[in-house]
Amino acid sequence: MIKKIYTFGTSFTQGGGFEFDVMPPKYKKIYEIFDDEEQSQENFSYPGQLKKLLPNVEVFNLAKSGYGNERMYRKAIDLVLSDSFNSDDTLFLLEFSYLGRKEFYSKKLKDFIVVNYNNVENKSILNGYARTYRQSQYLSDKDISKLPSNDFFEKFVEKTFDENIQVDLMHFNNLKFLSFLNERNINYLFTQKPMMFPTRVNLDNYHIETHEIKTFRNSSFLSELDETSIDYETEGIYSDTHFGLSGSKYVASKIFDELIDRKKIKGNKLNQKLSDFSYIKKKIKLNSGNIL
Amino acid sequence: MIKKIYAFGTSHSCGGGFEFNTFNSSPNPDIYKKIINSENHFDFSYPSILSKLTNIEVDNRAKQGYGYERVTRQIFDVVNDDLFDKDTSLFLIEISDWDRQEFWFNRINDYVIVNSHPMEMQDANNISIANDYHYQSYEVGNEIKNNKELFDRFIQYTSNIDNLIEKLQINFLFLVNFLENQKIKYLLTNGDVVLPINSENLTNHRDNILKYNLHDFTDNKTKIVTNWVDKVFDFKITISDESSQQVKDNHQGYSVSEYIAKTIFNKMVDLNYISMSKIDCNFLHSWKSIKNKINPLM
What DSSP line would sit under A74-136, residue for residue?
A: HHHHHHHHSTT--GGGEEEEEE---SSEEEEEETTTTEEEEEEEEEETTEEEEEEEESSSS--
Dihedral sign from CA coordinates of B106, B110, B116, B118: positive
pLDDT, tens only, A92-103: 999 999 999 999
Residue A105 lies in a domain: no
Structure confidence at residue A121 (pLDDT): 87
d(CA B93, CA B271): 17
Give B187-211 pLDDT, tens digit per residue: 999 999 999 988 988 999 999 999 9
Decide if A155 is inside a domain.
no
Chain A, chain B: beta-carbon pairs less than 8 Å apart = 101
* B160 touches A at CB < 8 Å: yes
Angle at B245 between CA B244 and CA B251, to 5 degrees: 100
Q: Is A121 a domain residue?
A: no
Measured between CB atoms, which of A85, A155, A199 is closest to B150?
A155
CA nearest neighbour of A129 among A141, A115, A117: A115
* Contact flag A176-B175 (C-beta cutoff 8 Å): yes
| Number of Cβ atoms within 10 Å of the Cβ of A258 | 20
CA–CA separation, B216 vs B236, rounded Å? 7
Fold of domain B4-96+166-294: Rossmann fold (3.40.50)
Taking Cα atoms as reference points, which of A149, A113, A109 lies closest to residue A129?
A113
Quick check: B73 and A172 CB within 8 A?
Answer: yes
* Cα–Cα dist A224/A211, whole Å: 18
Mean pLDDT in residue range A162-172: 95
Residue A138, domain member (yes or no): no
Distance CA A83, CA B198 (A): 7
Nearest to A162 among B80, B106, B158 (CB): B106
Q: Does B146 touch chain A (CB under 8 A)?
A: no
What is the predicted pLDDT for the residue at A262? 96
Rounded CA-CA distance A93/A192 in Å is 9
Contact B54, B276 (CB under 8 A): yes
Quick check: A179 and B180 CB within 8 A?
yes
Asked whether the beta carbons of A14 and A224 are under 8 A apart, the reply is no
pLDDT, mean over chain A: 95
What's the CA angle centered on A93, arms A91 and A97, to 5 degrees? Answer: 150
**CA distances in angstroms from A238 to A39, A231, A275, B64, listed in the order given:** 16, 6, 21, 55
Do A205 and B181 lie within an 8 Å CB cutoff?
yes
Q: Do B198 and A81 touch (CB under 8 A)?
A: yes
Pick left, alpha or beta for residue A218 (phi over 0 → left; psi -120 to 50 → alpha; otherwise beta): left
Is A223 a domain residue? yes
- Locate all alpha helices (DSSP H) within B86-228, ordered by sequence: 138-146, 148-158, 161-181
Beta carbons of B281 and B210 less than 8 angstroms apart: no
Burial state string for A76-88 with b = 16 or more CB within 10 A and e = fewer than 16 = bbebbbeeeeeee
* Sign of torsion over alpha carbons B13, B18, B20, B24: positive
Residue A129 lies in a domain: no
The sign of the dihedral angle between the CA atoms of A92, A97, A99, A105 is negative
Q: Which amino acid is at B209?
A: I
Nearest chain A residue to B160 by CA: give it.
Answer: A107
**Which chain B residues contact residue A202 at CB under 8 A?**
182
Interface ipTM above 0.90:
yes
For residues A3-31, b (16+ Cβ closer than 10 Å) or e, as one string?
A: ebbbbbbbbbbbbbbbbbeebeeebbbbb
Q: Is residue A45 within 8 Å of residue A95, measured between CB atoms?
A: no
Q: What's A24's domain CATH number? A: 3.40.50
Closest C-alpha to B115, from B46, B162, B63:
B63
Look at residue A202 and give its three-state secondary structure: coil
- Residues of chain B contacting A144 with CB distance shorter than 8 Å: none
CB A146 within 8 A of CB A108: yes
Which positions 68-97 of B are in contact with A (Cβ < 8 Å)?
72-73, 76, 79-82, 84
CB A107 within 8 A of CB B165: no
Give chain A positions within 8 Å (CB) of B84: 200
* Number of separate helices (H) and strands (E) present in chain B: 9, 9
Q: Give the angle subtended at the CA of A179 by the CAs of A77 and A260, to the nearest 5°.
A: 80
In a domain, A145, yes or no: no
Is A107 in contact with B160 (Cβ distance < 8 A)?
Answer: yes
Indicate which of B70, B82, B157 best probes the interface with A, i.e. most A CBs within 10 Å of its own CB.
B157
Question: Partners of B213 in the beta sheet?
Answer: B224
Alpha helix (H) residue ranges in chain B:
46-54, 68-79, 138-146, 148-158, 161-181, 232-235, 239-242, 254-270, 283-294
Q: How far is CA A170 from CA A11, A84, A99, A117, B68, in A?
A: 19, 29, 8, 14, 16
Chain segment B228-270, per-residue pLDDT in tens: 999 999 999 999 999 999 999 999 999 999 999 999 999 999 9
**pLDDT bucket at B298, cuts 50 / 70 / 90:** low
Q: Which of B104, B159, B202 sits opposite A160 (nearest CB)?
A: B104
State the average pLDDT for chain B.
Answer: 94
Contacts of B103 in chain A (CB under 8 A): 160
Answer for the pair B44, B249: CB distance below 8 angstroms, yes or no.
Answer: no
Which candidate in A176, A197, A203 is best for mutational testing of the B interface (most B CBs within 10 A)?
Answer: A176
What is the count of structural domains for chain A?
1
Contact A74 B170 (CB under 8 A): yes
What is the percent of chain A where pLDDT is above 90?
95
Give CA torsion, residues A205, A206, A210, A211, to 10 deg: 170
The C-alpha atoms of residue B91 and residue A291 are separated, in whole angstroms, by 65
Nearest C-alpha in A relative to B80: A200
For residue A161, give the chain B residue with the closest CA. B104
B154 vs A156, A171, A205: nearest CB: A156
Calculate the CA dihedral of residues B258, B85, A162, A156 and round it to 10 degrees: -30
Cβ separation A179–B181 shorter than 8 A: yes
Whether residue B174 and residue A161 make contact (CB cut-off 8 A), yes or no, is no
**B156 contacts in A (CB within 8 Å)?**
107
Compute the distance between CA of residue A283 and CA of residue A290 in angstroms, rounded to an integer: 12
Q: Kindly state the average pLDDT of the residues A164-190.
A: 96
Which chain B residues touch A77 with a CB distance below 8 Å? Answer: 170, 173
CB contact under 8 A, A200 and B84: yes
- The 10s digit of each residue's pLDDT in A67-107 is 999 999 999 999 999 999 999 999 999 999 999 999 999 99
* B121 pLDDT higher than 70: no
What's the domain range around A180?
A: 4-97+167-287
Which residues of chain A make contact with B79, given a CB cutoff of 8 A?
200-201
Residues of A in contact with B171 (CB under 8 A): 176
The pLDDT value recorded for residue B278 is 97
Provide the pLDDT for residue B60.
Answer: 98
Residue A34 has pLDDT above 90, yes or no: yes
Domain boundary assignment for chain B: 4-96+166-294, 100-161
Q: 3-state class of B7 per DSSP?
A: strand
Judge: B174–A179 Cβ closer than 8 Å, yes or no.
yes
Rounded alpha-carbon distances, angstroms, from residue A38 to A26, A52, A226, B247: 17, 11, 25, 73
Nearest CA in chain B to A171: B76
Asked if residue A205 is part of any domain, the answer here is yes
Confidence of residue B97 (pLDDT cuts 50, 70, 90): confident
